[in-house]
Amino acid sequence: MDSNPMPFVKIIIGLTIGLALLAYFKLPHLQGEEKQVAQTEEVRNSKPANRQAASASMSLASIKKALEYRAPLPGLTVYYTDRGFSPEHFEIKAGESINFVNQSSHAMQITFEVMESTYQGGAITQPSSEGSGKIWTITINDNGKYIFFNRNNREYTGTVVVR
């Protein structure tokens, strides 16, 4: 029986490099662009001995993000960040889902209020506040115009037109 560990080591190294490349080229949207620029500048301006350690740390973080990646959700995805909603204003078809992804450092509890609609009910509110990384999905079946906001921080709002 061959006890040479080299093939196993090569496989592990190949997987690590592959995940790092995947994270670098395919998933940059999972980290804030400013955070990436700041990290890059920090490494570039550091001493050579610190560069290797910082680069290794960033690679491990990128690999972790790649492993946490989920397949795209059906419908429209709206990201809630510390800067508000993205996109803020959009249009969907009646019956289409909207996925709110909390990428902020605060809790998110989305509320929809009717501006103009055939919908006769009151405000529609997410059942509970959710922390960072959580997703809430809603499907709106009634045509109209709605405003939405985070009940925990009403500074940011958005609108959706349902046709």
pLDDT digits (tens, 9 = 90+) for 89-141: 999 999 999 999 999 999 999 999 999 988 888 899 999 999 999 999 999 99
Instruction: Please check whether residues 100 and 64 belong to one and the same domain.
Output: no
Kindly state whether residue 81 falls inside one of the protein's structural domains. yes
Residue that terminates a domain, selected from 68, 90, 117: 68
d(CA 110, CA 149) in angstroms, rounded, equals 6
d(CA 89, CA 65) in angstroms, rounded, equals 28
pTM of this prediction exceeds 0.75: no
Instruction: Please check whether residues 59 and 96 belong to one and the same domain.
Output: no
105 φ, ψ to 5°?
-95, 10
Give me the number of domains the chain comprises: 2
Instruction: Please check whether residues 46 and 99 belong to one and the same domain.
Output: no
Q: Which two tokens stand for residue 12?
A: 């592990």
Mean pLDDT, rounded, for 9-18 = 71
Instruction: Please check whether residues 103 and 32 belong to one and the same domain.
Output: no
Q: Which two tokens stand for residue 95?
A: 């019956």
Q: For residue 58, give every residue at least 6 positions away whose Cβ sits within 8 Å of its Cβ, in sequence order, or none.
A: 39, 43
Domain of 158, CATH number, reads 2.60.40.420
Instruction: Please check whether residues 95 and 50 belong to one and the same domain.
Output: no
Parent domain of 40 = 6-68
d(CA 94, CA 108) in angstroms, rounded, equals 24
